[in-house]
Structure 1
Amino acid sequence: MPAKRKLAAIMFTDIVGYTALMGSDEDKAFEVLEKSRDIHIKSINKFNGKLVKEMGDGMLAHFDTAIDSVLCAIEIQKQSRQQIKEKIRIGLHLGDITFDHKDIFGDGVNIASRLQSAADPGGIYISESIQKSIRAKITVKTKYLGQIKLKNVDYLVNTYSIVEDGLPIPSPAKIEQLKGKSLFHKLTRSIYSYIILILLIIAIGPWIRNAFKTETSPISSLLILPFDNFTGDDSLEYIVAGMHDALIGDVGKISALRVPSKRTANAYRNVEKSIPQIATELNIDAAVETSVTCYGENICIQVKLISAFPEEKLLWVHDFNIDKGQISNLTKKIATEISQQINLNLTHQEEKLLNESRPIDPDAYEAYLRGMAHWELGTKPDLDRAMDYFQLSSKIDSNYALAYLGISRTWGGYVQHGFLPYNEVSEKEEAARNKALMLDSSLVEIHARMAVYYTWGKWNWKKAEPEFLKAIEINTNYAFTHAYYSHFLAIMGNPEKGLPHSELAMQLDPFNTLYISIHGQALKNAGKYDEALELLLKLYKIEPDQGIALPALWAVYHELGDKEKAFDIANKIYKLRKNEGALKALQQGFEEGGYNLAMQRTAEMMISKSDSVYYPLGQIVTLYCRAGMKEEALEWLEKAYEEHDSNMPYISVDPLFNFLRDEPRFQNLLKKMDLPI
């Protein structure tokens, strides 16, 4: 049956804060959802509307008249205030829509969705087309909010708020925000925007290069912008984000392209900048915009390829409509299409990687994406939730490699964040990782994690390097591999050789503070203290609470002999960790005998509390080294070796240990670990 078009009033609704409520009180969330559904269905039927679909906690409906849509929206808000505490947001627009397979599409749907997202909790926002249609027919009070820039709408939309009794009246500040006048304030509060400003200062060269590009310039770099969720269902954000991550990974397998990472791409979420502006900042040639318009038994996605120079130009647009069961292969198909559109010749290896088809249970895929959303937060409760979802994913589909990779990552996260000792999780992490590798040897994440595991877990250098190189072969744009390969080369006695890799990791992911910190550490280990200090101080000004930058900054100040600043950073670190015992020992030691005694007292405190509190032995070693205490440092280094502390490989390169290098006990440790002496 062919699709049909007609003029209709479209209504999008959403429960404010429902996702958070679901996370904190699932039973309460379902109760609210049932009451909201009952209110919506009764109101839509009462005013002659047609429910198109339910999208998690929201609904999409259409009406033959604008009047009916407005009266329905007012009724929904009235009943919601009486029956549930949670607020509803509603957006209305009158426009052309396309009817296809019991669903509706078109710019009108997008505008209604964006108006709903902009609306005040408990409020109703309408477009000018609705306002003009009702103003002479019913006495509904409205307030003009101005011309608003809505995301992915290429013109300003005259917008009104319905201000009947009980409905919120937008504040002057909200109206200014909607008009975009507070954009600078919003951006300057963002960590990423500060980094953008810094990059603009140092990116004059790339700007000049881009300014003189010609229309025939080949595309050798592109940014995969964050996906737009036009399903109207905010609860699907984790799926949309996961698909975005997957597309970056699959396009990144094309070695002829430089593809910035997910974190860098996410820095441009909801930032009102043109493609040429973004391209200038990141020194890229083009960008990919993607919209998810439906997610159910079928998945609907629109992909646009846009060049940046000499002017913004749409090169290609394509709509993908696939069965949900094929979701795991969708991004490979898109990556292949993009390579064809920009006339890239894929290598045999790249064709093989992008043509592989692995059927995966959609429920397993969704559980994995939920797990990743929690894993990236890194807190103990989130890691626990992530483990639950990854294990659920593996139970749903026992042949799903990413589920086991997620389990492995989570065990690693427990160690990385200091929640569990390495010895307690190493076998479990290894078992999950080996299972993932057995199921799918083409995943770059697996080889990169194997490389990290062999380096910092097993201290098996001969097995580590081939895994690093394999990961780079599979996806040369995977910043994680380059960042840690840099440190591997330093551990192997080649810190200078490693610097280009940590620098490349920063270029691929310039907004990732972890990789900036890793490069700072690499510079420190190469003896480039001034360069390391300059880089880390920039990061410190941007994000003073960045957990990895602070220890690196402490280390650089120590090597430069600036003990006062080193002490200040140490004090800040323990405050951020809320370690009252360390803070007390640090302060008392400093007052008694200065920096060295402060380091000694803190180490002694950790030892005294070790029966009840887990402190990585590497921390105690570091403190004794900074106190200049050879015997104690060697004693705890030997204990750290026996415990297999993950930081032990750095003894070959970290200048912190220079005062121990002539000691026979220290050289014996290097020999035991097969490290360069």
Structure 2
Amino acid sequence: MPSSDKPTRKLAAIMFTDIAGYTEQMSKDEDKAFALIKKKRELLLPLVEKYEGKLIKEIGDGTLTSYFKADNAIDCASTFQSKTDTDLNVRAGIHTGEVIVDKEDVFGDVVNVASRLESIAVPGSIFVSKETIDKLEMSDKVNLISLGMQSLKGVGRLIEVYAIKDESIVVPNPDDYTENKIDVHSDDEVPSIAIIPFKNKGAEEDVFYAYGISADLITDCSSAGLIRVSGLSDIEKLDYTNLDNTELSQKLFVRYISQGMLWKMGDMFQLSIELYDTKDKKVVWSDRWQEKWDNLPTIKMKLSDGLLKALDTFSKSEKTVETTNTEAYELYLKAKYMFSNSRDMDNVRGLLKKAIALDNNLIIAKNLLGLSYRVMNNSSKAEKIFSSNLIEAENTGNLLCMGMALGNLGAISEKKGEYTKALDYFTRALESHKKDDDKNGIAKAYCSIGFIIWKRFNKREKGIEYLNNSLKIFEELGDKNLSAMTMSYFATIYNDMGDLDKALVYNKRGLELSKIIGDKYSILNLSRVRAYYYDKIGAFNKALDSALCVIE
């Protein structure tokens, strides 16, 4: 049996309180200051017990308490503040999320955010996060005043903050909280962003930290609903270190540019993030902060949470930290960097197997292990790994990894000529992406299904139906690359059906998009096909023009 001393993860509401002006009072009159702590304890501790909370620790004039129901945390804080007076000026902050419970203590980002909420609260008030409000069972009975999306400087977090509004509680003036308030994306257009790989400011051998976190950050944000995120491969085609935000925006067809820095110094990381809006020409969010080496697995989740909040985009499924084992995550990041930059698959697999040995639940490492075999055409080994990963993802409800496993299994089956099996995998991937509201994943699954139905089963009308669904989403997302690819499929289908007029229409649309994005391979291929279409209908001069484009 596992040891009861082993740290566990639990959902909890964390409340921090402290006495405003306590340090100054202590320097003036120690007896009076101590009397305030005693008075606070006499009021608060019985209420913590009444509302099924737990006193974790007292730090000077501050207290840290935890509750497994957000309603209880707010009821406790509200009742407590209603009993305080002008002598006892207490601030309270509440944040809710997954905490690490180790013996009698709690740790994690939730604790840090609750502490920061308390620090920006006015005496006599209660500040709570949206994450806490979302967990309330009786939210309609709580009166709130919004302070907007606040950048908690020095911790790299964006939190939508509210204050409890009650006649017995001090209510802050929202106008006093504009300095660090973030203007989130509010236009009708679908938000689009390029997440430029973080600069490594440390030693050369530490470059894998910045690269791996950036790559996973792109994956996380890409699957978060109605948002378009530039792929890492598209970014790496550019000399991005020598391009400014406007140039990056123009070349990648995005509105927002995210850039950052990571510097490992001993057992600490120095980090910075900047999100720039090229349309309004302003910095939306920027911050600098430090993280302990032990917090490495949480960095990517904090960054994706902040970027998605700033872009007013929210993942349907709740994201959790992949592992609490920092050494395992570090090995995974090393493997991720090596996979993309050296293709030394033996070393990649060695690192991944070590990571998995340290944490057998690190499914992102297992997916990368499967991919390392797939790219080297070892389909049987890759299929075995992804099949196992799929079962694990289904058991844990990890929709992102479920979709990844199903997509890879579909591609493997298609390559092996097992088209019925491939169609089943892609159809299941579609359902998984729909549950997660992953628009990008949904569109790609529709495209894969449509391609197989048309190309492998010769059901053109049905294939067109799925490809139409795919194209609508790609166009909604503003994804010109995949829109052009899908249009080339349509052109080929209509040519097969003998409808050359429609084939030429889709060919032209695909060619125009390919020219806009500068995809020379697609321009070449579509021009070649266009020459064939014109030749087929006897438009020889137009066929010649298209053929000359191919030669050029």
What is the TM-score normalised by the length of structure 1? 0.41
More strand by share: 2
